[in-house]
Structure 1
Amino acid sequence: MSSSAAVFDGVAATALRSVLHRVQLAAEKSGRRADEIRVVAVSKTKPAAVLRQVYDAGHRCFGENYVQEIVEKAPQLPEDIEWHFIGNLQSNKVKPLLSAIPNLAMVESVDDEKIANRLNTVVSSIGRKPLKVLLQVNTSGEESKSGVEPSGCVELAKHVSLDCPNLEFCGLMTIGMLDYSSTPENFKTLANCRAEVCKALGIPEEKCELSMGMSADFELAIEMGSTNVRIGSTIFGPREYPKKQST
């Protein structure tokens, strides 16, 4: 490992500790304990060696947006990691994802019955334990965003809970605005969806997670009830995309 990589890795571990401290303060403001908030460290474009440094700092929950990345990284890292898939998931990628990642803990981005049905079928066919899922809700109304409309939340939640025995419905997720930060209105919309879903399913709201908040807005999200925040650049630094070769 180069010295520059080692320095960066140390920075990531230090940044994690800072994030966890900020989570603790925001949790206290919301009247909860820090251990009631899950921090998903989203390592998009970062190599497994950098994730390992954050793992060595004591963190165990990591997330990825792309199937190819998680399939490449997960085998290089310890098996006690709790992986979350948080990106848009296509039906043809479900089997490669589930087959390659036995320690995949949750898919946070189920946004229609088709993908729910595909996940349910593949979980059964490979014989793994039921898969935890969140329903992705488009709270900002932007066409560029994936997610079920808020008005469709109850129907989709019923489908997953009643018709997909190999999936475990755990709650709702939203991404927020185009710049990946959300307004209080986005968070309130998701909380309202949770209230409707819980009433329809007859479950207490504390049994239904809210995955909302990222690097730019996770403290506000926690104060408004988030149980799961997805932190990328604040821990790992800016994303690193391959430079295009000049012709």
Structure 2
Amino acid sequence: MAAPAVEGVAVTALRSVLFRVRQAAERAGTQPKRVRVVAVSKTKPVSLIRQIYDAGHRCFGENYVQEFVQKAPQLPEDIEWHFIGHLQSNKVKTLLGGVPNLAFFEGVDNEKIANHLDRAVSSLGRNPLKIFVQVNTSGEPSKSGIDPSGCVRLAEHVKSHCPHLEFSGLMTIGMPDYTSTPENFRTLSKCRVEVCKALGMTEDQCELSMGMSGDFEQAHW
């Protein structure tokens, strides 16, 4: 009898986050509908994800490949799945083959993984995969992500050499204890300015994926 109570708490938590997002967006002069909330569902059971889905949410993120490919087929096809974080190149085909409705890959941090993704998308004959370049804005040695100084070069590589990938934005993962500073997020925003200038894009065409439930209000909108 414990599961329904836990799932109810999850829906309540989601609604709380969505309310805070609306407040933060309004304070920043941004339309709330322009903010995408990804419910990270790693380690969570299918039943709980379904509860969130039934509450109206459609955007979910995972970052463990084996868990992801087992769960995704059990859930509705209209979910907008995001893979978040670093991925070993030998797991690319397993991920893309197992989750045909993967919408975004948030974790391209070097040219090698970009090339593997591009070839896998081509061999599977699927639509171009939207990707975010991951930037290590906090300088933590243990964290994946390219140094901010290399984000333009990597974005240019994706744009010029990976025809089956669609460069869609930049992402950074905040501090694990939610102590990310506004400077971390401003660094990502500055990277967007440089990338858009180099690629001839408008900033509206380059999304920023940043902030977790404990620190997104600090993100530069």
Letter in 1 for 2:167: F
Distance 1:152 1:14 in 2: 40
Letter in 2 for 1:149: D
Letter in 2 for 1:70: F
1:210-238 residue CA offsets vs partner (Å, 9 max, x unmatched): 100002101222xx12xxxxxxxxxxxxx
Alpha-carbon distance, 1:39 to partner? 0.4
In the alignment, is the contact (CA less than 8 A) between 1:181 and 1:213 conserved in 2? Answer: no
CA RMSD of aligned residues (A): 0.9
The equivalent residue for 2:139 is: 141
Distance 2:205 2:179 in 1: 25
> So what's the TM-score if we normalise by structure 2?
0.98
In the alignment, is the contact (CA less than 8 A) between 1:175 and 1:213 conserved in 2? Answer: yes
Letter in 1 for 2:37: V
SS of equivalent residue, structure 2 residue 37: strand
> So what's the TM-score if we normalise by structure 1?
0.88
Residue 51 of structure 1 pairs with residue 55 of structure 2: no
Alpha-carbon distance, 1:76 to partner? 1.1
List gaps (5 residues or longer) in structure 1. Answer: 226-247
The runs of 4+ residues in structure 1 deviating greater than 2 Å are 176-181
The equivalent residue for 1:175 is: 173
In the alignment, is the contact (CA less than 8 A) between 2:24 and 2:217 conserved in 1? Answer: yes
Alpha-carbon distance, 1:176 to partner? 2.7
The equivalent residue for 1:213 is: 211
The equivalent residue for 1:187 is: 185
SS of equivalent residue, structure 1 residue 135: strand
SS of equivalent residue, structure 1 residue 39: coil
Alpha-carbon distance, 1:11 to partner? 1.2
Query: How many residues align structurally?
Result: 221
Distance 1:179 1:86 in 2: 18
SS of equivalent residue, structure 1 residue 31: coil
List gaps (5 residues or longer) in structure 2. Answer: none
In the alignment, is the contact (CA less than 8 A) between 2:85 and 2:144 conserved in 1? Answer: no
SS of equivalent residue, structure 2 residue 38: strand
